[in-house]
Structure 1
Amino acid sequence: MESVINYAGRLPEASLKVDQLHQFLVDNIEQASSAKNNVTTNFFKLVCIYDLLQFKQL
């Protein structure tokens, strides 16, 4: 799961599905407070990517 969080942001936009990303974030919300700083940072980056894809703005 950490690998997904750490590398999903590097995927091309076309390969990210908004609904799947949303469900992944919901299912793994505990990673927002991970003891590993890089996981926490990249989790919140995925949240930003989700917002951008879903709402088309930052």
Structure 2
Amino acid sequence: MELREIQTTDYRLAEQMLEIQRNAYAVEAELIGFDEIPARYENGRSHSKSAGYELWLI
């Protein structure tokens, strides 16, 4: 695994990354018994308009 900076201004790439994020937060929500984790409900459009780069462990 490595930490990489990934450009998130590409809507399709942002949506793929968010699918991974949503799935991970769904597991976390189940484990802690709390379903209102804000990042669990982000969408690609709002995410792709953010700063433009994020660090992801891949």
TM-score, structure 1 normalization: 0.36
Report the structure, 1 or 2, having the larger strand content: 2
Report the structure, 1 or 2, having the larger helix content: 1
Which has the greater radius of gyration?
2
